[in-house]
Structure 1
Amino acid sequence: MSRSGYTCVRYIFCYINVLLWLSGCGILGVGIWLKTNHEGYASLVPQYSWMGADIVFIVIGAVTVLVTFFACCGSWFQSRCMLITYFSLVIFMFLMEFAMATLAFVYRERITELLKDELREGIEHHYSNTTDNGLSMIWTHTQQQFQCCGIDRPEDWYEIDAWPNQRIVPRSCCRPTEAQNPDCWKENNQDAWFLKGCSEQVLMWFVSQLHIVGIVGLVVSFIQLFGLISAMLLFCTVNHKRSNGHHYKAYPAT
């Protein structure tokens, strides 16, 4: 590779990873904020609290910061060790993404039922009607946003721990036209409720957003592919130049 081409690839690679590193710091910060201020998010799936939004953001942010650190330092200081570490990490991430996507597709029905069971567990035993916790906030927002009630049906809210022996629903199940009715959440006012379950509504919304998922997937794949090619080009060029006693900058060989 010519010196100008090498320098161009090196700087583009470095600057892109600086931006990704900053993004990773932001994602990590959001995860920490969710962990410290909205612990109820994990109650959505109590048996799998490690899958909560806070933990997911923290893991994604930490991995992004770590991987891009090796990329930035490897390209800027022309470190072969850091470049090959970055290359290996990206390969590992790609294989993990492929494996997770494959498993999610193969076991999609089982995963759906498992999530429904866990969501139902969260409603029955972790939902609180008296405290403004993360779980109640999520359900309130979800039911109002998607105009739904419960997981599969409004009856999912009947006789939960928050209101034992009562066949009622949260006020967020009430239609907007019935919001002024102080008793809209009671059993004798079922006509005032959203009748569709949230699992169906959220699934329909997700299907309608598949084009966005596809675009995000393509962008992530392009960044990973660019990173792999760039890292290998930089590694091979640095290795070749140093084997011949040449350095583009006076950095010690590593």
Structure 2
Amino acid sequence: MEARYKKKNTCGTICLKYLLFLFNVLFWVAGGTVFAVGVWTVAEKSDYISLLNSTFYAASAYILIATGVIVVVTGLIGCCATLREMKNLLIVYFILLFCIFLLEIIAGVMAYMNYQKLDHELRQNLKWTMQHKYKQPGEDGVTQAVDKLQQEFKCCGSNSSLDWEAASVG
């Protein structure tokens, strides 16, 4: 009677188990990469964030960090659930995976719908900051960030060098 309840691991089951484990390792690595990009953005590109009037752009770096942590944790749950063959943990894993999938779809649709608006707003904010805060008293951080931005990207102004002419007139 005991043999009746014993698990039977066929070749297909074992292959699926390790394929799922491999997928989870890749998922974990992708989450770590997203986390690293978020940390890099905060650490290395925080000067550029100071050029913008909106906190939306600064928040996006922290959203990357949070997303990376969630994906890493989900990947670890998936690895543990796969190796230990724990049904309840697999259910939690698939629910988390489904939520991440829905959030990615929502973020993709929103980015696609608002791309032009965000691009225009970003250029306008940068232009306004350059015209009104560059080399102003108490705005040394903005001045350094603008100089660094133009040197690193070998550009002048937000759209073109005409942005500086508008600054000298105003």
User: How does the TM-score come out when normalised to structure 1?
Assistant: 0.49
Q: Which structure 2 segments of 5+ residues have no match?
A: 1-7
Query: 1:157 deviation in Å?
Result: 3.1
Aligned equivalent of 1:50, options 46, 59, 65:
59
- Number of the residue aligned with 1:111: 118
Query: 1:96 deviation in Å?
Result: 2.1
Alpha-carbon distance in structure 2 between the residues aligned to 1:153 and 1:92 = 42
SS of aligned partner of 1:149? coil
Higher relative contact order (CA 8 A, sep 6+): 2
- Number of the residue aligned with 2:102: 95
Q: How many residues align?
A: 157
Matched, 1:141 2:142: no
- Given that 1:24 and 1:62 are in contact with CA atoms closer than 8 Å, whether structure 2 keeps it comes out as yes
Alpha-carbon distance in structure 1 between the residues aligned to 2:157 and 2:71 = 36
Partner deviation per Cα, 1:50-86 (whole Å, 9 max, x = no partner): 12xx425413421221221221111111122222222
Matched letter for residue 148 of structure 2: M
Flag the structure with higher helix content. Answer: 2
- Number of the residue aligned with 1:39: 46
Matched, 1:17 2:24: yes
In the TM superposition, 1:1-254 aligns within 5 A as 3-47=10-54, 48=56, 49-51=58-60, 54-124=61-131, 136-142=147-153, 144=154, 148-158=155-165
Alpha-carbon distance in structure 2 between the residues aligned to 1:140 and 1:25 = 30
Alpha-carbon distance in structure 2 between the residues aligned to 1:136 and 1:59 = 31
**Structure 1 111/86 Cα, relative in aligned 2: closer, same or farther at 3 Å?**
same
- Given that 2:34 and 2:65 are in contact with CA atoms closer than 8 Å, whether structure 1 keeps it comes out as yes
Please provide the CA RMSD for this pair: 3.4
- Given that 2:51 and 2:145 are in contact with CA atoms closer than 8 Å, whether structure 1 keeps it comes out as no
Query: 1:155 deviation in Å?
Result: 2.4
- Given that 1:119 and 1:151 are in contact with CA atoms closer than 8 Å, whether structure 2 keeps it comes out as yes
Q: Percent identity?
A: 24
- Number of the residue aligned with 2:5: none
Alpha-carbon distance in structure 1 between the residues aligned to 2:77 and 2:38 = 22
Matched letter for residue 59 of structure 2: W
Q: Which structure 1 segments of 5+ residues have no match?
A: 168-254
User: How does the TM-score come out when normalised to structure 2?
Assistant: 0.69
- Given that 1:127 and 1:136 are in contact with CA atoms closer than 8 Å, whether structure 2 keeps it comes out as no
Query: 1:19 deviation in Å?
Result: 3.6
- Given that 2:28 and 2:71 are in contact with CA atoms closer than 8 Å, whether structure 1 keeps it comes out as yes
Partner deviation per Cα, 1:73-118 (whole Å, 9 max, x = no partner): 1111112222222212222222222223223333443333222223
Query: 1:8 deviation in Å?
Result: 0.8
